[in-house]
Structure formats: C-alpha cells, structure tokens
Amino acid sequence: MRKTGHRSRAAVAVVTAAVLGLAGCDAVGGDSSAPEESRAAKPSPTPVWDSSPASMAAVGDSITTGFDACSVLADCPEVSWATGDSDRVDSLAVRLLGRAKAATRSWNHAASGARMADLPGQMTRAAAHTPALVTVMVGANDACRDSTAAMTSVADFRADFQDALGALRQKAPRAQVYVASVPNLKRLWSQGRTNELGKQVWKLGICPSMLADADALDAAATERRDTVQERVEAYNDVLKQVCAKDERCRFDGGAVYDYRFGTDQLSHWDWFHPSVNGQARLAEIAYRKVTSVA
C-alpha cells in the first residue's frame, strides 16, 4: 500500500510538471504553431484626406478669377491663386498637379460678383468633372453690399453653403473640399485708403458697405464698418462649423482672414482685390493647408 501511494504521487508530479511546462511556454512566447498573420501588426487605416489630389476644381468669386490683378476692372484667370498657369503665382493647381497636368486636370468655375447663393450652382458644375479636390473662396460679396442692411444674413449664408456641399456630394461624394476664410475687409480698407487713385476706383461701387466715404471716421462710418466686419467674422464661423461636419472638408482655420495684406498684395488698380503678389500669397496659404498632415 505504501509503495502504491508513492508511485501515484510520482505520477501526479510528472503530469503536473508537464502541464506547468506547457503553461510556462505559452506565458513566454505563445504557441509557436499560431498562424503568422495573427502575430503580424494590423495595417494603419488609410487617411481620409489625400494631400496629393490628382485633379481639382475651383469655385468662388472675383478673387479666384484674378479680378483687377492684371488690368483695371477685368478678370485675369491666368494669375488665379487656385488654377492659374502664371509662373509669377504658382497656383495651387500647379503646385499640386504640376504645370502640364494643371492645364488639363483643373477647372475654374468662379465668377466675379458671386455670392454664397451662387455656390450651389457652381458646385454642381464643378462636380461634373468628379475632381479629387474643390477649392472654395466666397463670402466677400455677401458682406460687400450697398448697405449693411443688404448683407446676406448669417442664416441664409449657412443654408446656401450646406446646399453647395450637398450638391457636390450628390455627384462627387469622395471629393475633398478646401475652404478659404473670407478676407479681413476692414484691413483691406485701412490699407487701400492711403491711395488716392484707389479711393476714386472705390467710388465706382467696389464694396460700398465697407469702402464708401473711405476717409470718414465719424461714429456712423465706424459703426458701419464694424458691422460689416462682424458679419465677415460670423461668415467665417459658419464656414468652419459646416465644414467640420464633412470628413472630407478642410477649413483654413482663418489663415486668409488673418493674413496681413499690405499694399504689395493689393491690386494697384482698385487697392482692394489681390494683386499678382497677393494671388501668390493665397496660393502659398492654400498649398500649406491642403498638404499639411492635419
């Protein structure tokens, strides 16, 4: 009986050691027979934003048509910050696509005088190309009206921008959208009012809500300009908020609004629209924002 018990205890010890040995092997390195793919690192998800799109379209207003950059009261699309082919600007299209491809793989549907209400139609035309990227710069004309009372309401501005993105998504659901902020119109007034020729051109009807009676500094004129500026800031808030709801939309974070345009960056015909130099600066800002990691 004593010998049998000894053998039983010995057998149990052997089995226990074997079990512990297997458990120790798993604890250190796991089962060497496990499938190779189970131990491989999972691939990183493909980022939604592509910093090197293969085609692009532009929508917006006179800034994107190069108005007053080359001659007085005329468009000059060849120096457009978005799609121009001038080597004095190196537009966003040229920087992203290269000069040869930019000529055939970029399209400009912006129009001088356009407001946000015109953007859905422009977006529909841009979407027909199924571009990889669409640039948006619009809103200055919504604030530049005959009076502050005539400015586009913030609610209408929001609704029209939402409709524009919706129009794009119907035909080009994967298109990326770069949205530039509305420029600081009050700063443009403060820079341009130093030029007598520019102020004469302003009298032809360029942004009267901000630029009328350019030298007036009384309370009424100051309040009028502040009202315009507050509306521009509200528009930029809308652009930021609506864009944030679309995973393929990127707002510039106020970069254009914050840029300190000087006289070198303003048209020497109207001292309000960007000059060729100003167009180049806009292209630089856009390229930096489109190609940044986040």
Q: Where are the domains of the chain?
A: 2-30, 56-291
**DSSP conformational letter for 274:** B
DSSP lists the bridge partners of residue 108 as 58
> Phi/psi at 40 (nearest 5 deg)?
-75, 150
What pLDDT is attached to residue 232? 98
H-helix or E-strand spanning residue 191: helix 185-192
pLDDT in tens, 105-159: 999 999 999 999 999 999 999 999 999 999 999 999 999 999 999 999 999 999 9
Residue 130 corresponds to which tokens in the numbers above?
């199924």
CATH for 56-291?
3.40.50.1110
List, as one string, the DSSP characters of 219-241: HHHHHHHHHHHHHHHHHHHHHHH
What pLDDT is attached to residue 64? 98
Residue 96 corresponds to which tokens in the numbers above?
């992203």
pLDDT in tens, 168-192: 999 999 999 999 999 999 999 999 9
pLDDT in tens, 18-56: 333 333 333 333 444 444 444 555 555 556 899 999 999
CA 218 vs CA 19, 81, 153, 205, 224: distances in Å = 93, 36, 26, 21, 10
Is residue 38 helix, strand or coil?
helix
